[in-house]
């Protein structure tokens, strides 16, 4: 049973970089079967896809966030990470990591990140 768990700071200052890690258990992050991705949900709002990475290292980013987003994989730790730079209050959200074959079938529980000074 594939499980994902997000971790990282719950509070980030404006203009700084948000950094989150997703630890994968019950499966290998190097598997050619999966995409790994990040999705966020601002309070009271809907889901927004941030970006995805394939086992080959190919990355795909939401055009509206592309200039600020980096997603990477650490195969030695079975983890993948999200970095979002120059954050503002609009980036306050619950951030989910997810695993997909086409679209997500397994999600982490989510972690709330608040952008505030």
Partner 1 sequence: QSVLTQPPSASGTPGQRVTISCSGSSSNIGSNYVYWYQQLPGTAPKLLIYRNNQRPSGVPDRFSGSKSGTSASLAISGLRSEDEADYYCAAWDDSLSGPWVFGGGTKLTVL
**Shortest spacing between CB 36 and partner 1, in angstroms:** 12
Within 8 A by CB and 6+ apart from 66, the residues are 51
- Based on CB atoms, which residue is closest to partner 1, 60 or 114? 60
Least CB distance from residue 45 to partner 1, whole Å? 8
Q: Phi then psi for 9, rounded to 5 degrees?
A: -65, 140
* DSSP symbol at 92: -
Nearer to partner 1, 73 or 97 (CB): 97
Q: What's the min distance (Å) between Cβ of 67 and partner 1? A: 14
Q: How far is the CB of 87 from partner 1 (least distance, A)?
A: 21
List the structure tokens of 55.
Answer: 């086992």
For 17, 95, 98, 108, 117, the CA distances from 39, given in Å and listed in that order, are 17, 6, 8, 10, 24
37/87 with CB nearer partner 1: 37
- Give the footprint of partner 1 on this chain (CB under 8 A): 37, 39, 46-49, 52, 60, 63, 96, 100, 102-110
């Amino acid at each position: 049973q594939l499980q994902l768990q997000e971790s990282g700071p719950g509070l980030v200052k404006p203009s700084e970089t948000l950094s989150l890690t997703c630890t994968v258990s019950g499966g290998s992050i190097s598997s050619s079967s999966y995409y790994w991705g990040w999705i966020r949900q601002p309070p009271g709002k809907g889901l927004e896809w941030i970006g995805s990475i394939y086992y080959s290292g190919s990355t795909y980013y939401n055009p509206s966030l592309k200039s600020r987003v980096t997603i990477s994989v650490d195969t030695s730790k079975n983890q993948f990470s999200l970095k979002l730079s120059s954050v503002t209050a609009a980036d306050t959200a619950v951030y989910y990591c997810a695993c997909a074959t086409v679209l997500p079938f397994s999600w982490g529980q989510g972690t709330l990140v608040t952008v505030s000074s």
